[in-house]
């Protein structure tokens, strides 16, 4: 079977050398009853190639069964592939055939095989080797005669090295490997693809189609198309709807492509995760930032209480008991001292906390005040004012590097347990070179609070059984 006939039967569009080379390989192996592995990015047309292989094979009179392994939940994939016996599980009211049994004498296409669980891979390998399988819940071995074509957009060789894909199955599948090029490497085919997609969509939906200008085709050829042919088809259909029968120009294409681009997320200073930072530094900054947010919430609460009518609060006993008395009991804040208080946290001045946060942020950005202000979530003017108010030096110097390592003779050993680590950190002398007393106190008390919460929730048996092994 020549490549022109393959294109006609399978509906493959293209005249580029890249796609013709793929189809020449298809023509060579289609009539040979061996397994084939198709590699290609998502949207390149792996299913069409599997269809071409089936149509050119001796099994063309039998069924081509297409299975998307990535779309089937792990818990039922074996039942879907191999079938199940009545009563095998709760919902198994009747026995049913699986895909391998349905595809007997035909071809089964296992798309996204890289997502198949390891336990299922063992059974697929057995089918490939002997043609034997068992339905779920059954003890009787059944046989099937199928040709297996697999496809993936993942690097199976890498998955094998990582232990996520069986090596024996990988070598069994890749008897012949067909690599489908992405659309960006066959840009000359875009004109043919656009014409075919536009004509099909306009006829089906009764849309006037006046064509694409040569400049618009050039605009699409210069685009990288991360979603490949599938993305191109969706793009053509959407632009035909939006332009309402107008001839598609380069400006229309460029505008639509810009609108379809997925922009990267900007740095959100309110997110509880700090990226691209040293883990220890990230944790310190996270604690300080959250405490600052707490301080702001307290300030807002104080403002709300000041604006409220205390006479109305006093006249309403329910409000006084449920709101005002609770604040007094927990001692969340002190109006005169502006201190955050708590049994496990201790008491500290929030202005000192803010000052330390500013200093550390400036240190991180090498005294770049614009970047520091953005990270802190304040304007540059506000940051300059706070630097002057707090008497922060204009140039922030980084601390001297720590000499030695954890394996040096003169260095202390790592604490053996959580509680000892907290106490060591709190009483350590080295910490004071890097952190203020306020930070050491707050951080230590917070970790101690976590430890006490853990100890109250966990039973002694769980601690002895699971934690002692470490």
We report the CATH number of the domain holding residue 244 as 1.10.8.60
Q: Pairing between strand 64-68 and 107-111?
A: parallel
Domain assignment of residue 405, yes or no: no
pLDDT of residue 421: 79
Burial string for 359-391 (b: 16+ CB within 10 Å, else e) reads bbbbebbeeebeebbbbbeeeeeebeebbeeee
Mean pLDDT confidence for 262-287: 49
pLDDT of residue 308: 54
Residues 64 and 106: beta-carbon distance below 8 Å: yes
More confident call, 297 vs 108: 108
pLDDT of residue 230: 93
Domain assignment of residue 270, yes or no: no
- Shared domain check, 122 and 7: yes
Q: Which of 181, 215, 230 is the last residue of a domain?
A: 181
- Shared domain check, 229 and 204: yes
Confidence of residue 463 (pLDDT cuts 50, 70, 90): low
Confidence of residue 442 (pLDDT cuts 50, 70, 90): confident
Mean pLDDT confidence for 157-174: 92
- Shared domain check, 196 and 165: no
Helix, coil or strand: residue 116: coil
Domain assignment of residue 92, yes or no: no
Domain assignment of residue 76, yes or no: yes
- Shared domain check, 189 and 149: no
Q: Spell out where 193-342 has E strands.
A: 339-340
pLDDT of residue 393: 60
Q: Which of 363, 398, 433 is the last residue of a domain?
A: 398
CA angle 66, 69, 75 (to 5 degrees): 125
Least confidently predicted of 50-64, 168-182, 390-404:
390-404
Please state the domain count of the chain.
4
Summary mean pLDDT of the chain: 77
pLDDT of residue 302: 61
- Shared domain check, 191 and 176: no
Domain assignment of residue 23, yes or no: yes
pLDDT of residue 324: 43
CA 102 to chain centre: 35
Least confidently predicted of 52-66, 144-158, 283-297:
283-297
User: Does the structure show a pLDDT above 50 at 357?
Assistant: yes
Q: What is the rounded CA–CA span in Å between residue 186 and residue 298?
A: 61
Confidence of residue 325 (pLDDT cuts 50, 70, 90): very low
pLDDT of residue 319: 39
Q: Which of 207, 229, 260 is the last residue of a domain?
A: 260
Domain assignment of residue 305, yes or no: yes
Q: How many CB atoms lie within 10 A of CB 409?
A: 5
The residue range of the domain holding 329 is 279-398
350-364 vs 437-457: helix axis angle to the nearest 10? 100
Let me know how long the chain is: 470
Q: Which residues pair with 108 in a beta bridge?
A: 65, 148
The H or E element spanning position 107 is strand 107-111
Domain assignment of residue 83, yes or no: yes
Q: What is the rounded CA–CA span in Å between residue 165 and residue 182?
A: 24
- Shared domain check, 232 and 151: no
The 10s digit of each residue's pLDDT in 373-382 is 877 777 777 8
User: Does the structure show a pLDDT above 60 at 316?
Assistant: no
- Shared domain check, 177 and 194: no
DSSP 8-class letter at 68? E
- Shared domain check, 196 and 175: no
Q: How many CB atoms lie within 10 A of CB 137?
A: 15
- Shared domain check, 191 and 171: no
Least confidently predicted of 47-56, 287-296, 337-346, 420-429:
337-346
- Shared domain check, 136 and 30: yes
Domain assignment of residue 269, yes or no: no
pLDDT of residue 343: 40
User: Does the structure show a pLDDT above 70 at 435?
Assistant: yes
pLDDT of residue 367: 77
- Shared domain check, 196 and 129: no
Mean pLDDT confidence for 208-226: 91
Closest-CA residue to 31 (of 3, 54, 8, 12): 54
- Shared domain check, 150 and 72: yes
User: Does the structure show a pLDDT above 80 at 125?
Assistant: yes
Mean pLDDT confidence for 121-134: 92
DSSP 8-class letter at 265? P
The 10s digit of each residue's pLDDT in 240-254 is 888 877 889 999 999
pLDDT of residue 259: 64
Q: What is the rounded CA–CA span in Å between residue 257 and residue 239?
A: 10
Q: Give the range with max mean pLDDT: 71-85, 212-226, 280-294, 426-440.
A: 212-226
Query: DSSP alpha helices (H): ranges in 30-131?
Result: 46-55, 77-82, 99-102, 118-130
Q: What is the CATH number of the domain that holds 163?
A: 3.40.50.300
Residues 341 and 347: beta-carbon distance below 8 Å: yes
Q: What is the rounded CA–CA span in Å between residue 77 and residue 84?
A: 11
């Amino acid at each position: 079977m020549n490549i022109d006939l393959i294109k006609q039967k399978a509906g493959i569009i293209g005249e580029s050398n890249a796609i013709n080379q793929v189809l020449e390989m298809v023509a060579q192996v289609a009539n040979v009853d061996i397994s084939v592995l198709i590699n290609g990015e998502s949207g390149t047309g792996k299913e069409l190639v599997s269809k071409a292989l089936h149509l050119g094979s001796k099994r063309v009179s039998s069924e081509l069964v297409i299975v998307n392994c990535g779309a089937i939940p792990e818990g039922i994939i074996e039942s879907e592939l191999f079938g199940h016996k009545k009563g095998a599980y709760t919902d198994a009211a009747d026995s049913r055939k699986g895909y391998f049994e349905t595809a007997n004498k035909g071809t089964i296409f296992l798309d996204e095989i890289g997502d198949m669980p390891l336990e299922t891979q063992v059974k697929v390998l057995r089918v490939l080797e002997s043609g034997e399988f068992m339905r779920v819940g059954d003890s009787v071995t059944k046989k099937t005669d199928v040709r297996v074509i697999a496809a993936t957009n993942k690097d199976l060789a890498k998955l094998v090295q990582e232990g996520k894909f069986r090596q024996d199955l990988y070598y069994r599948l890749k008897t012949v490997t067909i690599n489908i090029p992405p659309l960006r490497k066959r840009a000359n085919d875009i004109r043919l693809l656009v014409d075919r997609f536009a004509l099909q969509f306009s006829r089906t939906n009764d849309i006037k189609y006046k064509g694409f200008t040569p400049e618009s085709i050039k605009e699409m050829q210069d685009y990288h198309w991360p979603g490949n042919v599938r993305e191109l088809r969706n793009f053509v259909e959407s632009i035909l709807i939006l332009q309402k029968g107008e001839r598609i120009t380069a400006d229309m294409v460029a505008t639509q492509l810009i609108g379809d681009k997925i922009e990267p997320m900007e740095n959100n200073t309110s997110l509880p995760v700090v990226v691209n930072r040293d883990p220890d530094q990230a944790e310190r900054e996270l604690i300080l930032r959250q405490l600052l947010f707490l301080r702001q919430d307290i300030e807002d609460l104080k403002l709300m209480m000041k604006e409220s009518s205390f006479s109305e609060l006093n006249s309403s006993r329910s409000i006084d008991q449920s709101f005002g008395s609770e604040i007094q009991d927990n001692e969340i804040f002190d109006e005169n001292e502006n201190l955050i208080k708590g049994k496990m946290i201790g008491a500290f001045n929030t202005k000192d906390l803010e000052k330390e946060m500013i200093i550390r942020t400036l240190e991180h950005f090498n005294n770049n005040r614009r970047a520091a202000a953005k990270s802190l979530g304040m304007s540059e003017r506000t940051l300059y004012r706070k630097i002057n108010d707090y008497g922060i030096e204009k140039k922030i110097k980084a601390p001297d590097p720590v000499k030695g390592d954890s394996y040096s003779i003169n260095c202390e050993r790592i604490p053996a347990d959580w509680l000892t680590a907290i106490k060591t950190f709190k009483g350590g002398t080295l910490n004071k070179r890097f952190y203020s007393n306020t930070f050491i106190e707050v951080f230590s008390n917070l970790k101690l609070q976590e430890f006490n919460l853990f100890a109250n929730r966990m039973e002694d048996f769980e601690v002895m059984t699971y934690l002692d092994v470490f």
